[in-house]
Each structure stands twice: as structure tokens, then as C-alpha cells.
Amino acid sequence: MGNTSAVETLFGQEYRSRQVRAVGLGVAAALALGVALFGGVLAGRTTLVGIVSVAFLAMAGGVAVSRYGSFSTPRRRLWAYGLSSGAMLASAAALLAPKAISHHATYGGFAIAFGYLLGFAGHELGHLFSHRELPLNATISELTLHALLAGSIMGVLYGSLPSLTPLFGYGIVAHKLPAGFGGATALDRDDLPAVVMALPAAAVGLAAIPVSVVTPDLGAVVRAVFYGISTGVFAHVALDMIPECHGGGKGHGHGGESVCSAEADAQRRHAVASTVAGAGVLFLAWLLVSGV
């Protein structure tokens, strides 16, 4: 009994320590973003400040939907993962990939593949650290990497960024709201506090504003590579969120036996329906905003 109590105490201390570090990481990221936004205003990057602020709020909105929506049952969690993964995949394919290809088709295409593999590597190698009590998980790490790349793109392209029109704002929300939703759902799975989402939410601004100040205009190939890597990483995050038939997302799953039952078959139908619905909602929203 004494040894059991000691082990339980140790795990309890590790859990509390992880939660404290997670909260500290999220708060530090939010404070750093505030400093970056202030610096951006002083540097005259007001358009960029507005864009990254919308990105942060959109991701926070996705977190709020995940936290305060009713997703307590396996079926509802399946739909949560499916809607977010379908919307994220459609966003990567329709809003990011064309920009990579248009700057340079071959380099952009290779960069998309490399970005996807980079996301895969981050997930698999990140799994090696899952036995440690780190204040984040693989999904948040991948979202942060994508956000840093996206922010770098914004910084590099600052001189040619459009104004914050409804269509451009839609593009930001289409990326960040599903990402915030899916990321917060993944945090629930690993019992991490929602404030950790401040890290990927702030990462766009933390990269974009400094890069815009120090980076000269870059060529089409470099832009294609930046867009392509960001597309690939985001696509990997989306596919990693694809729901499994038993409910929820893949998360750290590494395969398993296929379950054959009436309930499992029903879950499979819901998995397909939810992902298609997520992509469809994004498409319909684009039609509405673009006026096509």
C-alpha cells in the first residue's frame, strides 16, 4: 500500500507540474504576441497587425466552440473531428496549394510533399516524447509549425498583402477556426488545458511581424517553397484529425484491428459524412463570401 501511494503521489505531482507548465506556455505565448503586435504598430505594419489579430481570434473562436459545444458522446466527438479535418483539408487544398503551384509548379509541388512529410516526421518523432510530461502534444506542435510557416509567408509577402477584405478575412477564418476547434479537441484527449492553444494561435504573429521588418522581397521559387511546406504541414494535421470508426480522431494511434459490427459500420458512415460535410461547409462559405 505504501508503494502504491508513493506512485500515485508521484504521478499526481507530475500531472500538476505539466498543467502548470502548459498554462505558463500559453500565457507566455499570448504575452509575446501582445509585444509583437505593439512592435508591429510602431513599425507601421498595421495591415499585418490586423491580419494576425483576426487569425488569433479565429483560432480562439474554434477553441471556444470545442470547449463550450456539446461533444461529450463518441458520436459527437467523431463529428467534431470529422468536420474540422474536412474543413482543414479543403482549406489546404483550395486556399494554400494553388498559391504554391502558381509561384512555381514544380518547386511548389515538391514543397507540398516535403511539408506533408515534415508534418508526419514531427508527429512520429514527437511520439517519442509522449512518455514525457511535456506541456503540449503532437497536434499542437504541428499546428504551431504550420502557423510559424504561414506567418513567415505573410512577413515575406507583406508588401503585396491585400487589405483585410471579407474574402481575405474568410481565408484566415477558414484556416484558423477549424484548426482551433480540432486542436482543442485533441487537447481534451490528452487532458491538457485549452490555454495551450495560445501557442499556435500566437505563432502566426510572432513570425509574421519580425519577418516583415527584416526580410527583403524574395523570388517566386522561395515563395512557392514557403507556401508548399505550409500547405503540406496543414494537410497532414487535417488528415491526422480524420475520425476513426470508434469515435474521436487518430491522435497517436498507430494502427489496430478493424472492428466489424453494426455500431462500427454506423460510425464509419458518420466518419465519411462528417469529413465531407466539413469540406462542403468551407466550400459553401467561400461561394457566399466570394460572390461566385
What pLDDT was estimated at residue 11?
55
Residue 247's pLDDT is what? 47
Nearest to 183 by CA among 286, 33, 65: 65
Question: What's the mean pLDDT in 119-128?
Answer: 73
Summarize the confidence of residues 235-241 as an average pLDDT. Answer: 87
Whether residue 126 is predicted with pLDDT greater than 80 in this model: the reply is no
Average pLDDT over residues 102-116: 94
pLDDT number for residue 258: 45
Say how many residues make up the chain: 292
Q: What is the pLDDT of residue 217?
A: 67
Rounded average pLDDT over 134-159: 81
**Residues 118, 145: contact at Cβ < 8 Å?**
yes
If you average pLDDT over every residue of the chain, what do you get?
Answer: 82
Least confident of 37-41, 43-47, 109-113, 272-276: 43-47
- The mean per-residue pLDDT over the stretch 8-29 comes to 79
**pLDDT tens-digit series, residues 54-103:** 999 999 998 998 888 777 677 888 888 888 889 889 988 998 899 899 98
Write b or e for each residue in 238-256: b if 16 or more Cβ atoms lie within 10 A of its Cβ, otherwise e: bbbbbbbbebbbbbbeeee
- At 2, the pLDDT band (50, 70, 90 cuts) reads low
- The pLDDT assigned to 40 comes to 92
- Residue 161 is predicted with a pLDDT of 65
Give CA–CA dist 51/39, Å, rounded: 15
Cell 470508426, residue located: 245
- Reference 99, options 203, 185, 171; nearest CA is 171
Q: What is the pLDDT of residues 178-233, one digit of tens each?
A: 888 888 888 887 788 889 999 999 999 999 999 888 877 677 888 888 889 889 98
| pLDDT at res. 128 | 57
Q: How confident is the model at residue 47 (pLDDT cuts 50, 70, 90)?
A: confident
Angle subtended by helix axes 74-91 and 220-240, to nearest 10: 170
Average pLDDT over residues 262-267: 79
Reading the block at residue 204, the C-alpha cell is 502566426
Q: Smallest Cα–Cα separation from 86: which of 212, 274, 221, 259?
A: 274
Per-residue pLDDT at 97 = 93
What are the tens digits of pLDDT across the range 27-45?
999 999 999 999 999 998 8
